[in-house]
Structure 1
Amino acid sequence: METSELHDFLLDQSKLAVDWEEIKERLQPKVLTINGIPVFLFDLIFNIANQLIDDQLVISLQRPFATVPMHVHPYIELVYVYQGTCTVQINEQPIELAQGAMILIDKMTPHTVLETRPGDMVIDMKLRHDYLSSSFLNRLTGKSIISQFLINSMIDKRRTNQFLYFPLDGVKKTGQIMEQLMCEYFDRGVCSHDIINSYLVILFTELVRHADIRGAASPGRRQEDASIIDFLRYIEERYRDCSLVEMAAQFKFHPNALSAILKRATGKSFKDLLQLQRLNKAALYLKNTGMPITDIAEEVGYSSMSFFHKKFKEVFGETPSEYRNRKGE
């Protein structure tokens, strides 16, 4: 399927009706109470033809005039406005999504997509936990602590009722990636699974560039979450000689306060984040260059080879030499 054919395909699929009352009657989903709100537990997934499916990744379409009941599910959902607009309600908060916008909704977060109009085309992508915990996540998070924070915030059991909102005003690239991904998904051929995974990695990485984290409990917390991106980007860019004191001074925080914010948001201390970024860079050099390991250690900020070897093995489960030899197989 070419991108020029995608619109007509989605238009034909949008004509299929869906009756949520009939679905509720047939499947008898459990009703939970979350934050005082009664919600349905939908642990089953329907494909674009409105058939039950058990895949780890499913892309479907919101039907016009169909309001999905307030619900939760044990998987992550990405809502993407391919055409028109839509309103997503999370808990009691309505969020207006314009064309091109995306929103990632964490598992077990009460939400609904309100009734759409005939001209609206709203895409739902379901990602089960097993899918995200596979080698896909390693490809995505291995190079960037920002990526790691964004994805971990979605799968970490300590964080609940969260979402990531990407307005993407004027950003065309993410829409183009989604089109290519959907074309491959709806018209599969040789190596489609690998191609779809690659598009997802590109999509999630592109979203990192346009991160606008919202959905926390208060304006103060939303500001803190937005600041996390700047904090992590600072570590990424200055990992060779970054210090907590200098970083705190840069952002006008007390070092202890900054350290507490990082720990609360990522589950890791400043030192842990710094080590992780250095080691990720070292792994990148080991995989893609012939630099001596001593030079790599120095390049990423380690003056002690024994300490570098110790930390590398703690994170990757093998020595730098073993990692390089295995990656070269």
Structure 2
Amino acid sequence: MSIEELIDDFLTPYSEEEQFYKNYHLARQSPETFQQFLSQIDASVSSRFYIPEINSNVHKLFEETHIFSSLKNNILIEKHQRYTPPFRHAHDFFEMIYVWRGTGENTVEDNLVQMRNGDICILSPAIFHTLGVFDDSILINILIKKSTFNETFFPLLSNDNLLSVFFTKVLYTKQADNYVIFHTEGDLIVRELLSYLIRESLLTIHDSYSDLLRENLLTTVFGYLLRGHARDAELSGKRHTQTAHMANVLQFLQDHYKTATLETTARHFGYTASYLSRQIKAATGSSFSKFLGELRFKKACMLLSGSMLPIQEISEMAGFGSTEHFYRTFKRMSGETPASYRMRHHQ
């Protein structure tokens, strides 16, 4: 049996939730039938499932801390439950919707995006949308932490390309696009990569290699999307050339956070220091020094949680200069000492 057949066998059967929502959907076709259906719903069911006519209080903003069960998990994958009543919601992480089979209706803000077989839609955080599947179609939701996206995926996106601009605008600027959509039907490589990603997440017992495999598979998917589908991709909003230039500047700072100064960065790109300062402020909402300080802080957090290096060495590696300055800055930005942070977050 092929990997696609294995996944189909796993995803095709209706779950209890899907079967309930399918019956709900069919009952709604007739007012009389629907009222009878609602009256027969047990309290144990209405407490577990979202039923607009009974319990309209549904989460509208989903946060990383509630969705991701472990700080180590950067990626979560799940099947979208068919026939679920669409509800408008947003989340503070990236969502990547893949049409494994069939079609789906994805309304992003006020824009209806008709998705078909093989389509991949990447949604920005904090964007309200609804997703509807009312047949046997199968859609896969791939959830990606925004908080760790930088360290995990940004090296792939360091050039002036569609995904680099899209993610950079989300992570560092106030000009984010709502979504980007790729049409990959017929691309056997992307299909196979996503098949392995789905299998690794839904059909394999989690072990010490699972997170690494998922991250590398998704990074490879991004690479093939850029190679084969960037030209035909659809990006909401307008792509600003200036933002593409800023993606290069921000990536430069990512690579040289230890030693970069406003003057050396401006000289590298042929700008004046005052011009670059204004552009960074306009794009990110932060001054150059504040933005660079945040990069160094994030690097320090990553080293504290992922290594047992001495704090003095981490201070130097993160570009803080003196250990005393590092302690003061870290306490101001996090509300705790580096040692305390390490105790709570060390993997």
TM range (shorter): 0.5 to 0.7
1:43 aligned residue (34, 44, 58) = 58
Q: Deviations over 1:157-189 (max 9, x none)?
A: x979953436396774455323322336xxxx7
2 CA distance for matches of 1:235 and 1:98?
Answer: 39
2 CA distance for matches of 1:226 and 1:323?
Answer: 35
**Structure 2 length as normaliser, TM-score?**
0.55
Instruction: Name the CA shift for 1:78/1:67 in 2 (closer, same or farther; >3 Å).
Output: same
Q: CA RMSD in A?
A: 5.4
Instruction: Name the CA shift for 1:10/1:265 in 2 (closer, same or farther; >3 Å).
Output: farther
Q: Deviations over 1:254-309 (max 9, x none)?
A: 54554445445444332223222223333444455565444433333233333222
Q: Deviations over 1:107-141 (max 9, x none)?
A: 5625555888x6x532246x7xxxx9xxx776x26
Quote the offset at 1:237 in angstroms.
Answer: 0.8
Q: Contact 1:89–1:111 at 8 Å: present in 2 too?
A: yes
Specify the structure having the higher radius of gyration (Cα): 2
Instruction: Name the CA shift for 1:9/1:286 in 2 (closer, same or farther; >3 Å).
Output: closer
Question: Are 2:249 and 1:243 aligned?
Answer: no
Q: Deviations over 1:2-39 (max 9, x none)?
A: 9553211223349968438929977557xxxxxxxxxx
Give the 3-state SS of the residue equivalent to 1:278 in structure 2. Answer: helix
Q: Give the alignment of 1:160-175 within 5 angstroms.
A: 163-165=178-180, 167=182, 172=190, 173=193, 175=195
Quote the offset at 1:226 in angstroms.
Answer: 4.8
Identity %: 20
2 CA distance for matches of 1:227 and 1:269?
Answer: 17
Instruction: Name the CA shift for 1:164/1:297 in 2 (closer, same or farther; >3 Å).
Output: same
Letter in 1 for 2:250: L
Unaligned stretches of 5+ in structure 2? Answer: 39-50, 61-65, 69-76, 156-165
2 CA distance for matches of 1:72 and 1:316?
Answer: 33
Q: Contact 2:89–2:130 at 8 Å: present in 1 too?
A: no
Give the 3-state SS of the residue equivalent to 1:6 in structure 2. Answer: helix
2 CA distance for matches of 1:217 and 1:300?
Answer: 36
2 CA distance for matches of 1:28 and 1:324?
Answer: 44
2:139 aligned residue (94, 107, 122) = 122
Instruction: Name the CA shift for 1:322/1:28 in 2 (closer, same or farther; >3 Å).
Output: closer
Quote the offset at 1:238 in angstroms.
Answer: 0.8
Q: Deviations over 1:197-229 (max 9, x none)?
A: 888877887788779897554333xx4555554
Q: Give the alignment of 1:1-329 within 5 angstroms.
A: 5-13=6-14, 18=22, 19=25, 22=28, 27-28=51-52, 43=58, 56=67, 59-61=78-80, 72-75=88-91, 78-83=96-101, 88-90=106-108, 91-92=110-111, 94=113, 99=118, 101-104=120-123, 106-107=125-126, 109-110=128-129, 121-124=138-141, 140=148, 143=151, 153=170, 163-165=178-180, 167=182, 172=190, 173=193, 175-183=195-203, 217-220=237-240, 223-251=241-269, 253=271, 255-287=273-305, 291-324=309-342
**Structure 1 length as normaliser, TM-score?**
0.58
Instruction: Name the CA shift for 1:20/1:274 in 2 (closer, same or farther; >3 Å).
Output: farther
